[in-house]
A and B are shown apart, each in its own frame.
Chain A
């Protein structure tokens, strides 16, 4: 089967089509998901094929998310969609207190096959109340699988997994990635087998540790300087417990420079949690450098956003300062800062992928 070049949105749409076809117990439920170009195009045209499976609902995030959790405990595979994580905050009782704990609190024989797609709104004009990620809310809650697709091929795999999720699974989608492109095969592999960690490049003295849309700037950095000088470790998912794979620990233990590229607020967030976990095992003090937004919300005005997110030139110039590269980079221009990422990942495939399986 030949590889198809699609963007992130199209990848999710393809996976939904396949998922609805493969599993007649699966549903997509959310505000406007049945529009012709629903959920920013990710559910485009699906309701015309599956009018009883792609369902619009009243504007009531807590209720329709709870309905999905109820369906998920009755043997169905609903996927609830929230166009921003902030909208899902209205449904946190249902996600964190009901879905995540359901099987455990009822003794372990009562699965909750709940899937959720939550958009992280990094995008021009989204402002303070549409750009949070709240990763740590979900990662810090036992009972949830949390997935961060960082490229279209992963978005495809993860979305298909949601259609079959045997336990509560949350996909955190960076809207910043929606226009990125990728080539991959639509396949019939086990939908529950998913990438957990992706390594880009061979072992190196300099490692960029990132997740989600951080991969864009990591790839740009790697492509700008001598390719072999950098290895990227991209966290794709946490399934069940939050143990770090030993290959991550080994790689970071043997490197000289650890660049943490976090597009969310770092303090007490996902990345700081990762660093804390690593610091229990290895000494990071002399080699770690954090690139992340300042600890304030993201503003709306482009003037105020220009220094908010960490960008590749910041990383490259730092690597120049510490003599990893002779390259220097110019600051991004207006469009580089404000428009969605437009990278084609096809030429940047992982050198190694550690996989995991979703289970009850």
Chain B
């Protein structure tokens, strides 16, 4: 959802809180309510979705992956329909057929998310190509993880987009891990995204994805390049608070995390950074806390009301 720059910090902080609160609600209910939908939480790395979507017009298209609650909401997706979908209710955004890994709200051009690694980049190239053929002046943004960015089909998709001059931004959300495999487990020592991407004829931009303002600024640049027919790869470095899947927050005992301990993740939390940046810009801390509190309450009210209308055990 495009953010008014006069209220950038207010709107972006509120959106981060909305995403986080709704996911925390889902996580809390996961076991007690028997939510039988595979779950991949975006808590901790919401700034990537919020910062990128903040520059998109309603006309722009976005697509996502298995971890797309944040992408969906930040594009303007309907919160109750997301909750219904995750709870397996027919009032969900996919009528319960998709579940958590399939977010969809075509009314705001969030045109789908698919979990198979590397599946979504070429699909997004197709949607971008269709826009071009239909004379629609927009960009298509597709989110993928750092694991999916290693798939051959991703590289193929970048080349295809470059050869067909598609208006597309591939956002790599690099949270350091493919499930629990670190970059050093998966890449040669000389692996270079930049060299690969630029060698394919696309623009490569890397940014700190925990800082929503920096993501916003990078996304503006990316969108300008993309509108000129040059595919862009926006590589965001993020921190995933939770494990790969499921509702549990990992603690320091997660043996695959070496540097990004829970303490480190808390210190570099994107909401905390957004607050600091907002204060640096002259906004008062109390005002920011007010926004956080109101966004949290508002979200909780919505999701709680939705939950009251759902009986997950009703399989009649």
Q: A and B: real partners?
A: yes
Residues of B within 8 A of A71 (CB): 126-127, 129-130, 133
Tell me whether A62 is interfacial, beta carbon within 8 Å. yes
B123 and A106 form a contact (CB under 8 A): no
B126 and A105 form a contact (CB under 8 A): no
Segment among B3-11, B32-40, B152-160, B286-294 that sits at the interface with chain A? B152-160
> Cα distance A73–B95 when bound, in Å?
18
B152 and A62 form a contact (CB under 8 A): yes
Interchain Cβ contacts within 8 Å, total number: 117
**What would 14 A/B residue contacts be, using CB atoms closer than 8 Å?**
A58-B159, A58-B163, A60-B157, A66-B119, A66-B121, A66-B153, A70-B122, A70-B129, A73-B127, A94-B122, A98-B114, A98-B123, A105-B102, A106-B102
> Cα distance A69–B93 when bound, in Å?
21
Residues of B within 8 A of A106 (CB): 94, 97-98, 102, 104, 112
Tell me whether B258 is interfacial, beta carbon within 8 Å. no
Contact bitstring A54-84, B, C-beta under 8 A = 1, else 0: 0001101011111111111111101000000
Residues of B within 8 A of A57 (CB): 160, 163
Closest to B115 in A: A97
Tell me whether A51 is interfacial, beta carbon within 8 Å. no
A107 and B93 form a contact (CB under 8 A): yes
Q: Within the complex, what minimum Cβ distance (angstroms) separates A90 from chain B?
A: 9
Tell me whether A93 is interfacial, beta carbon within 8 Å. yes
Q: Within the complex, what minimum Cβ distance (angstroms) separates B106 from chain A?
A: 7
> Assuming the A-B contacts A62-B156, A107-B94, are A70 and B125 also in contact, with contact meaning beta carbons closer than 8 angstroms in the complex?
yes
Tell me whether B16 is interfacial, beta carbon within 8 Å. no
Our pick among B102, B121, B123, B160 for the contact of A73 (Cβ within 8 Å) is: B123
Tell me whether B116 is interfacial, beta carbon within 8 Å. yes
> Cα distance A57–B133 when bound, in Å?
16
Interface residues of B in 96-121 (CB under 8 A from A): 96-98, 102, 104, 106, 111-112, 114, 116, 118-119, 121
Interface residues of B in 137-155 (CB under 8 A from A): 152-153
Tell me whether A110 is interfacial, beta carbon within 8 Å. yes
Q: Please tell me the number of chain A residues within 8 Å of chain B, measured between CB atoms.
A: 30
Residues of A within 8 A of B125 (CB): 63, 66-67, 70
Closest to B128 in A: A70
Contact bitstring A81-120, B, C-beta under 8 A = 1, else 0: 0000000000001100110001011111010000000000
Residues of B within 8 A of A105 (CB): 94, 97-98, 102
Residues of B within 8 A of A76 (CB): 130, 133
> Assuming the A-B contacts A110-B104, A110-B106, are A67 and B122 also in contact, with contact meaning beta carbons closer than 8 angstroms in the complex?
yes
B123 and A69 form a contact (CB under 8 A): yes
Tell me whether B124 is interfacial, beta carbon within 8 Å. yes
Residues of B within 8 A of A98 (CB): 114, 116, 119, 123
Residues of A within 8 A of B92 (CB): 107
A67 and B129 form a contact (CB under 8 A): yes
B160 and A74 form a contact (CB under 8 A): no
B153 and A70 form a contact (CB under 8 A): no
> Assuming the A-B contacts A63-B122, A67-B126, are A108 and B97 also in contact, with contact meaning beta carbons closer than 8 angstroms in the complex?
yes
Tell me whether B249 is interfacial, beta carbon within 8 Å. no
> Cα distance A62–B152 when bound, in Å?
9
A97 and B94 form a contact (CB under 8 A): no
Tell me whether B208 is interfacial, beta carbon within 8 Å. no
B133 and A60 form a contact (CB under 8 A): no
> Assuming the A-B contacts A70-B129, A70-B130, A97-B116, are A60 and B156 also in contact, with contact meaning beta carbons closer than 8 angstroms in the complex?
yes
Interface residues of A in 23-78 (CB under 8 A from B): 57-58, 60, 62-76, 78
> Assuming the A-B contacts A58-B159, A71-B129, A73-B111, are A63 and B153 also in contact, with contact meaning beta carbons closer than 8 angstroms in the complex?
yes
> Cα distance A267–B264 when bound, in Å?
57
Tell me whether B131 is interfacial, beta carbon within 8 Å. yes
B160 and A68 form a contact (CB under 8 A): no
Residues of A within 8 A of B133 (CB): 71, 76
Residues of B within 8 A of A62 (CB): 118, 122, 152-153, 156
Residues of A within 8 A of B114 (CB): 98
A67 and B160 form a contact (CB under 8 A): yes
B157 and A63 form a contact (CB under 8 A): yes
> Assuming the A-B contacts A94-B122, A98-B119, A106-B97, are A60 and B160 also in contact, with contact meaning beta carbons closer than 8 angstroms in the complex?
yes
Q: A70-B124, A102-B112 are in contact. List 16 more A-B contacts (CB 8 A).
A: A58-B159, A60-B156, A63-B153, A63-B159, A66-B126, A67-B129, A67-B160, A71-B130, A73-B111, A97-B119, A98-B119, A106-B102, A106-B104, A106-B112, A107-B95, A108-B97
Residues of A within 8 A of B111 (CB): 73-74
Residues of A within 8 A of B152 (CB): 62
Q: Which 10 A-B pairs have the closest CB atoms?
A: A70-B126, A66-B122, A74-B130, A60-B156, A63-B156, A107-B95, A70-B123, A107-B94, A67-B126, A71-B126
Residues of A within 8 A of B126 (CB): 66-74, 78
Interface residues of B in 148-203 (CB under 8 A from A): 152-153, 156-157, 159-160, 163-164
A110 and B112 form a contact (CB under 8 A): yes
Q: Within the complex, what minimum Cβ distance (angstroms) separates B73 from chain A?
A: 18
Which of A68, A102, A106 has the most chain B CB within a 10 Å cutoff?
A106
> Cα distance A65–B157 when bound, in Å?
10
Q: Within the complex, what minimum Cβ distance (angstroms) separates A169 from chain B?
A: 17
Q: Within the complex, what minimum Cβ distance (angstroms) separates B264 from chain A?
A: 35
B97 and A60 form a contact (CB under 8 A): no
Residues of B within 8 A of A104 (CB): 97
> Cα distance A116–B131 when bound, in Å?
21
Q: Within the complex, what minimum Cβ distance (angstroms) separates A339 from chain B?
A: 37
> Cα distance A171–B126 when bound, in Å?
21
> Cα distance A271–B97 when bound, in Å?
32
> Cα distance A102–B153 when bound, in Å?
19
Contact bitstring B77-94, A, C-beta under 8 A = 1, else 0: 000000000000000111
> Assuming the A-B contacts A70-B125, A105-B94, are A58 and B160 also in contact, with contact meaning beta carbons closer than 8 angstroms in the complex?
yes
Q: Within the complex, what minimum Cβ distance (angstroms) separates B87 from chain A?
A: 15
> Cα distance A46–B97 when bound, in Å?
40
Closest to A71 in B: B126
> Cα distance A325–B13 when bound, in Å?
84
Closest to A97 in B: B116
